[in-house]
């Protein structure tokens, strides 16, 4: 889809459709008022008769509006004016794009940003309008022999800004929105592939593709022999039961002029299918376990977005990639393995495998002398119980780091929520036969926090945070599929870090 920016009046747009907003209680937005005046009260008559109440996300397409150059006018409900905030803005954009994409409007000019400028800067509006539009028009149909969704009528969206002087900033933020949207789409495509196609080797191919696309990205791939030489015993314990080969993927983004010193490190869980191993999962919904590499997909999506935007940062990505399968070679409950850190782990549940591969990846991150490390993982079902599907869980050993991620989540409308990391939660990880167990002795209680406590034992040498994305990485039901979260959160967080570093340098 093509995105453009312009400044102008809604009634003068020669386009297939002009999009304007209506608040609850039938209050016209500024642009709707302009069209109403030119059309001699056409819109106010319709609203007065109750055809559009202004409820958030409601839509009404109008044809042949008098004295308007556009073919159609789309009215979008904005909800209550005092409640029209970030999430409401995104919902209004999504509702409009969805209808336009279904009704054959090949292009449209949106006059919705003006309603947000009073509460949020214009740049944010443009960036997130682009991201929201991209989320709506996304489809994954290339595995279907008869593609009923092959037509995408909406080809071009133009966002109007109040003044011509707003155009330079809007153009910059539109580019940021496009890069983030493409990173999200890249992550969604990877995660939506079935596990017979999206194997650990496929993840290496996606990393290599990024390396070929961007000169700022370099990639190193460790195969099984090299992983064994590194003595990543926790990672290999998970990979043992599968016929497919494990890989440890290292990406590095370093633009020209940036020295490799103390990078930011992103670690993505790359379990391309999680059967649970010997601790086999229930059959119901096991197909969802192809999404257990969503953390890895998010890291790849972030690298694509960052490479497009080219900020002056040093960024490393680590992806331990394997399957977790039952077989005669698979790790058994009660087995004890030695991790890369040298610490021994009693594996009481082979379905608590994500923390095992992340343990070795977090230890591997030490060699970069990182400024900060953030791991991203669909780690615990308990996260869904705690937060549902609205927010990721944020944990860590540095409050400032965790808070910066939560703030980036608010700014990006890709939310996260902070959890306590009191030492008492880690008491249940004690083992009779090893340095620690991979699950707590308290059963399901505080499962997400206990899992984070386990990870913290391998992240003690740097500032570390953990994002448990089990509830936000994919949707179920009729909208089943990967979401690409938390690419937007992480891109926002990384760009914010660059801004703070630039400010510190004067």
Indicate which residues carry an active-site annotation.
281, 355
Helices (H), 193-293: 200-213, 224-230, 233-239
**Partners of 76 in beta bridges:** 21, 59
How far is residue 260 from each of residues 51, 142, 240, 253, 257, measured CA to CA in Å? 60, 39, 35, 10, 10
Rg (CA), the chain: 25
Instruction: Give residue 173's region: left, alpha or beta (phi > 0; psi -120 to 50).
Output: alpha
The contacts of residue 67 (CB under 8 Å, 6+ apart) are 11, 38, 39, 40
The contacts of residue 287 (CB under 8 Å, 6+ apart) are none
140, 189 Cβ separation under 8 angstroms = yes
CA distance 450 to 42: 60
CA atoms within 13 A on the CB side of 25: 4
Q: DSSP assignment of 404-438, as one string? A: HHHHHHHHHT--EEE----GGGGGGG--SSSSEES
392, 474 Cβ separation under 8 angstroms = no
CA atoms within 13 A on the CB side of 434: 19
CA distance 419 to 396: 9
Burial of 338 from C-beta contacts in 10 A (0-12 / 13-18 / 19+):
middle
Which residue shows structure tokens 């990485």?
473
CA distance 122 to 290: 38
How far is residue 395 from each of residues 212, 377, 427, 449, measured CA to CA in Å? 34, 12, 17, 8
How far is residue 197 from each of residues 204, 205, 244, measured CA to CA in Å? 12, 12, 12
**Strand 156-161 with 107-110, pairing:** parallel
Which residue shows structure tokens 């990173």?
183
110, 158 Cβ separation under 8 angstroms = yes
CA distance 96 to 325: 44
- Element housing 218 (H / E): strand 217-222
What is the three-class DSSP state of 386?
helix
Which residue shows structure tokens 């009046």?
9
**Strand 464-468 with 392-396, pairing:** antiparallel
């Amino acid at each position: 889809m093509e995105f453009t920016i312009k400044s102008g009046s809604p009634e003068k747009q020669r386009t297939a459709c002009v999009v304007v907003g209506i608040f609850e209680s039938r209050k016209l937005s500024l642009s709707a008022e302009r069209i109403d005046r030119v059309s001699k009260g056409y819109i106010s008559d319709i609203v007065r008769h109750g055809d559009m109440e202004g409820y958030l996300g409601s839509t009404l397409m109008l044809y042949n509006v008098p004295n308007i150059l556009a073919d159609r006018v789309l009215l979008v409900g904005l909800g209550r004016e005092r409640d029209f905030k970030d999430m409401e803005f995104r919902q209004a954009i999504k509702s409009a794009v969805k209808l336009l994409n279904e009704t054959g409007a090949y292009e449209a000019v949106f006059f919705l940003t003006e309603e947000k400028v009073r509460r949020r800067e214009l740049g944010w509006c443009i960036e997130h309008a682009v991201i929201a539009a991209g989320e709506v028009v996304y489809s994954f149909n290339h595995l279907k022999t008869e593609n009923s969704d092959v037509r995408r009528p909406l080809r071009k969206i133009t966002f109007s800004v109040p003044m011509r002087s707003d155009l330079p900033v809007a153009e910059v933020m539109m580019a940021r929105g496009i890069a983030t949207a493409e990173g999200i789409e890249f992550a969604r495509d990877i995660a939506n592939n079935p596990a017979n196609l999206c194997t650990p080797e496929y993840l290496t191919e996606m990393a290599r593709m990024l390396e070929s696309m961007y000169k700022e990205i370099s990639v190193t791939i460790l195969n099984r022999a090299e992983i064994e030489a590194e003595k990543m015993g926790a990672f290999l314990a998970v990979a043992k039961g599968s016929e497919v080969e494990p890989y440890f993927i290292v990406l590095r983004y370093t633009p020209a002029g940036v020295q490799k010193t103390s990078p930011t490190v992103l670690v993505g869980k790359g379990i391309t299918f999680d059967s649970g191993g010997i601790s086999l999962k229930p059959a119901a919904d096991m197909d969802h376990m192809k999404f257990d590499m969503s953390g890895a997909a998010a890291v790849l999506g972030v690298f694509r977005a960052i490479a497009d935007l080219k900020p002056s940062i040093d960024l490393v990505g680590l992806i331990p990639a394997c399957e977790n399968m039952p077989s005669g070679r698979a790790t058994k409950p009660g087995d004890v393995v030695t991790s890369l850190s040298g610490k021994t782990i009693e594996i009481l549940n082979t379905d608590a495998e994500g923390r095992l591969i992340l343990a070795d990846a977090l230890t591997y991150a030490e060699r970069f002398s990182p400024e900060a490390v953030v791991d991203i993982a669909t780690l615990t079902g308990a996260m869904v119980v705690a937060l549902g599907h609205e927010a990721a869980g944020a944990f860590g050993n540095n409050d400032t780091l965790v808070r910066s991620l939560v703030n980036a989540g608010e700014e990006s409308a890709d939310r996260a929520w902070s959890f306590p990391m009191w030492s008492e939660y880690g008491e249940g990880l004690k083992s009779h036969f090893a340095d620690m167990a991979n699950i707590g002795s308290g059963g399901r209680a505080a499962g997400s926090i206990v899992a984070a406590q386990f990870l913290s034992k391998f992240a003690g040498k740097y500032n570390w945070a953990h994002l448990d994305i089990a509830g936000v990485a994919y949707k179920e039901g009729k909208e089943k599929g990967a979401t690409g979260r938390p690419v937007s959160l992480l891109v926002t967080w990384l760009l914010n870090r660059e801004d703070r570093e630039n400010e510190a340098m004067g």
